[in-house]
């Protein structure tokens, strides 16, 4: 219920003839639910505890020697490297017969009592990339079939998603290609961390609510919302090791980016959820693919197959991204194909193998300062986008308050830190 209310009422667009789909691993014993919007009120039509899609994905994550409930996104990233003929082989021999449809419910078919041992044994003959490709294919095929059935029964063409499975950004490319799908809405961080927001929307269901215009609702750089000034910054960065430049403009920053410098950017409140969206980000020139290796080796230590993300200005994004149905993607929640003729200009922010992109399609009102930086970069390079990845060290959460930001900067291979759109900190010995 909280997932559904969060997904629908947080959206800037609330379609009349629509369905909310929530699928997750546990879900308080209801891991697949469907909700219809009737006169702007959500009516539950399906509650199901037999949908094992998320559990199967979780178990494959563990079988591939990654952390379940944490590294499913790595399996998703890896899946792009597999070939269709091998994917189909694994799908046919491992996943196909486990679940079936009973109307709109995804229920057990030949589900073994010990699902993990079954998957472990069945996947042994297959290579890791083909296993990941097959489980992703299985997820996409099943969700697509679910939407087809919803459309057939209720003539619905507009869909909202939440729950743990909604975090699988790759599946939306496949779903978006379904002819009957007119509208998709995916909220930022649809997993359990957002349940409290959904609960607030539910408790406010009889009053007028507002959507989430942005997700910058985390900690401020300083407690009690104090303003950052030169004296505060200089306490963290002694002159013998650091240079601090005040009043460093967005134009100045864009010039550094155009010279292929990699820069940490922090301002105001941190992003809530799983994505860095410009307030606690590492940014770089997306046409410079060497930035991927530099960020990985000196800062992030990410798995080599994992893509970085992209922030791109909404007014120019269709020159680079195939968004034919005009889906909103304010929070890096969906994946799209890119336009081959311009891929080289943004490829550092795309998947290295299949060229897809998980963008933050940025409107000025969402983050005016971040928008301004990209606009200045576009003026210099004719590229209205930046590579964007979260500001954190490997194994650490997103940098939060100023002390945490300073720790991250000092212990990373970053040379530049840009604070509150005013102060540039430079390491002297780099």
The residue extents of the domains of the chain are: 2-203, 223-427
Beginning with the edge strand found earlier in the chain, give each strand of the sheet holding 183-185 in spatial order.
Answer: 41-48, 32-38, 18-23, 158-162, 183-185
Quote the Cα angle for 116-65-141, to 5°.
Answer: 60
Q: CB 280: neighbour CB atoms within 10 A?
A: 27
Handedness of CA 154, 160, 162, 166 (dihedral sign): positive
Look at residues 36, 59, 72 and name the one whose alpha carbon lies nearest to residue 158: 36
Cα–Cα dist 63/114, whole Å: 14
Look at residues 387, 414, 412, 390 and name the one whose alpha carbon lies nearest to residue 400: 390
Asked whether the beta carbons of 244 and 237 are under 8 A apart, the reply is yes
Cα–Cα dist 264/416, whole Å: 6
Query: Which distant-in-sequence residues (6+ apart) come within 8 Å of 179 by Cβ?
Result: none
What number of helices (H) and strands (E) belong to the chain? 14, 15
Cα–Cα dist 284/383, whole Å: 12
Question: What CATH class has 2-203?
Answer: alpha beta
Cα–Cα dist 305/132, whole Å: 12
Q: What does each of the 430 residues of the chain score in pLDDT, given as a tens digit?
A: 999 999 999 999 999 999 999 999 998 889 999 999 998 899 999 999 999 999 999 999 999 999 999 999 999 999 999 999 999 999 999 999 999 999 999 999 999 999 999 999 999 999 999 999 999 999 999 999 999 999 999 999 999 999 999 999 999 999 999 999 999 999 999 999 999 999 999 999 889 899 999 999 999 999 887 899 999 999 999 999 999 999 999 999 999 999 999 999 999 999 999 899 999 999 999 999 999 999 998 888 889 899 999 999 999 999 999 999 999 999 999 999 999 999 999 999 999 999 999 999 999 999 999 999 999 999 999 999 999 999 999 889 999 999 999 999 999 999 999 999 999 999 998 7
Q: Is 288 helix (H, G, I), strand (E, B) or coil?
A: coil
Cα–Cα dist 185/217, whole Å: 20
Query: Which distant-in-sequence residues (6+ apart) come within 8 Å of 129 by Cβ?
Result: 78, 79, 81, 82
Domain 223-427 has CATH 3.40.50.150: no
């Amino acid at each position: 219920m909280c997932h559904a209310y969060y997904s629908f009422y947080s959206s800037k667009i609330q379609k009349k003839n629509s369905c909310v789909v929530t699928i997750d691993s546990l879900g308080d014993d209801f891991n697949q639910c469907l909700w219809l919007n009737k006169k702007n009120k959500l009516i539950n039509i399906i509650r199901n505890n037999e949908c094992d899609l998320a559990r199967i994905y979780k178990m494959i994550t563990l079988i591939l020697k990654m952390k379940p409930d944490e590294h499913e996104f790595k399996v998703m990233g890896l899946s792009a490297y597999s070939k269709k003929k091998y994917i189909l082989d694994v799908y046919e021999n491992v996943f196909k017969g486990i679940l079936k449809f009973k109307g709109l419910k995804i229920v057990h078919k030949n589900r073994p009592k010990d699902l993990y041992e079954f998957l472990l044994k069945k996947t042994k003959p297959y290579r890791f990339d083909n296993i990941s490709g097959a489980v992703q294919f299985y997820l996409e095929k099943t969700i697509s079939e679910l939407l087809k059935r919803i459309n057939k029964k209720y003539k619905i063409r507009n869909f909202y998603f939440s729950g743990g499975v909604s975090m699988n950004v790759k599946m939306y490319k496949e779903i978006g290609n379904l002819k009957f799908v007119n509208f998709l809405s995916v909220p930022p961080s649809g997993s359990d961390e957002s349940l409290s927001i959904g609960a607030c929307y539910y408790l406010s269901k009889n009053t007028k609510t507002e959507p989430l215009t942005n997700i910058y609702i985390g900690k401020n750089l300083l407690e009690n919302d104090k303003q950052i000034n030169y004296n505060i910054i200089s306490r963290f960065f002694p002159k013998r090791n650091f240079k601090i430049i005040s009043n460093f403009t967005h134009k100045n920053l864009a010039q550094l980016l155009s010279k292929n410098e990699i820069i940490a950017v922090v301002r105001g409140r941190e992003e809530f959820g799983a994505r860095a969206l410009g307030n606690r980000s590492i940014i770089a020139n997306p046409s410079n693919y060497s930035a991927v290796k530099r960020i990985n080796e000196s800062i992030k230590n990410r798995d080599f197959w994992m893509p970085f993300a992209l922030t791109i200005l909404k007014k120019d994004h269709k020159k680079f991204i195939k968004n034919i149905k005009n889906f909103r993607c304010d929070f890096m929640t969906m994946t799209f194909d890119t336009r081959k003729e311009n891929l080289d200009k943004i490829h550092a922010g795309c998947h290295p193998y299949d060229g897809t992109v998980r963008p933050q399609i940025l409107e000025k009102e969402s983050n005016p300062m971040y928008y301004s930086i990209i606009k200045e970069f576009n003026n210099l390079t004719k590229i209205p986008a930046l590579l964007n990845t979260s500001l954190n060290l490997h194994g650490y959460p997103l940098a939060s308050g100023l002390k945490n930001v300073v720790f991250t900067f000092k212990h990373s291979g970053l040379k530049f830190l840009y604070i509150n759109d005013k102060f540039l900190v430079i390491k002297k010995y780099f």
